[in-house]
Amino acid sequence: MTSPRIALLGLGIMGGGMARRLLGAGFPLAVYNRKPEKVAALTAAGARAAASPREAAAGADIVISMVADDVASRAVWLGPDGALAGLGRGAVAVECSTLTVAWVRELAWEVAERGGEFVDAPVTGSKDAAAAGALNFLVGGGAASLERIRPALVAMGRSVTHLGPTGSGALVKLVNNFVAGVHVAAFAEALTWLERSGVARDPAVAFLLEGAVASPITKVVAARMLAGDFTPHFLLRLMTKDLGYALDEAGHQGVALATAEAALGRFRAAVSAGLGDKDMAAMVEGVRAGVR
């Protein structure tokens, strides 16, 4: 059997690694990126460069988007040069970005209107996981559609969790990032507190990272905060966006996320301090500086 033809829209921190995994697995791949300079390395590895999302989607069996937010997702899917204009009947549109549930459901409707199938499959894992093919896919949509795209997901990830109908993956991803954002904010405050307390910081942190509060995300960001290395793995401004989306979605369901409100305040202050394009661990710099 021939491999399905895939189009991938968005070659940022995550999309670039995902594209390389698909190429390495032998999938015919077309790629599009708003900034064309990110395309060259992939075309050298065998991908076909497309001048627009529509061109990338033309002839593809699976079209995958990995972009920053609702605005960027609308831009790549809709309009005369959007991917839906080139989507063939029966093709599967896959949205891997972290988006609002409302937009995901609207996009699913737009895809169905054009005779396609839709799956929302946002991921957990950051830059290193994308490069290593170790992402975790949180999937909403029909079981048959999922089986059609599963080989591509397996090439890019280590797990695929089917959570229910359209929008289920998007919702659980917002829950995940809400909790992760709170952990990052809490540890930034804890580390700053330790640094000002006069106790020996490093053994205190080592104790915390071996104890009950040591979540996986806390361990990851703690290493970056301690090293002062804020090379982007997950952009701080994107976590800020995700917390905002989570608050809105929970609010629609009558749930007040008080801890998310507090964390979002910290993240927004860090963005205002010019840290938005650094790794989310850079939030500690804003806390240390007293930015609020």
Query: Among 35, 38, 127, 173, which one carries the catalytic annotation?
Result: 173
The CA distance from 206 to 55, in Å, is: 51
In angstroms, the CA 240 to CA 234 distance is 11
Structure token digits, residue 259: 């801890």
Separation between Cα atoms, residue 280 and residue 264, nearest integer Å: 12
Residue whose C-alpha is closest to residue 152's, from 284, 6, 33, 36: 6
d(CA 240, CA 265): 9
Q: How far apart are alpha carbons 164 and 1 in whole angstroms?
A: 29
User: In whole angstroms, what separates CA 43 from the centre of its chain?
Assistant: 23
CB atoms within 10 A of CB 165: 12
- For the question of residue 173 being annotated catalytic, the response is yes
Whether 260 contacts 178, CB under 8 Å: yes
Return the half-sphere exposure (C-beta side, CA atoms, 13 A cut-off) of residue 71.
2
Contact 50, 79 (CB under 8 A): no
Sign of the CA dihedral running 98, 100, 106, 112: positive
Residues labelled as active-site residues: 173
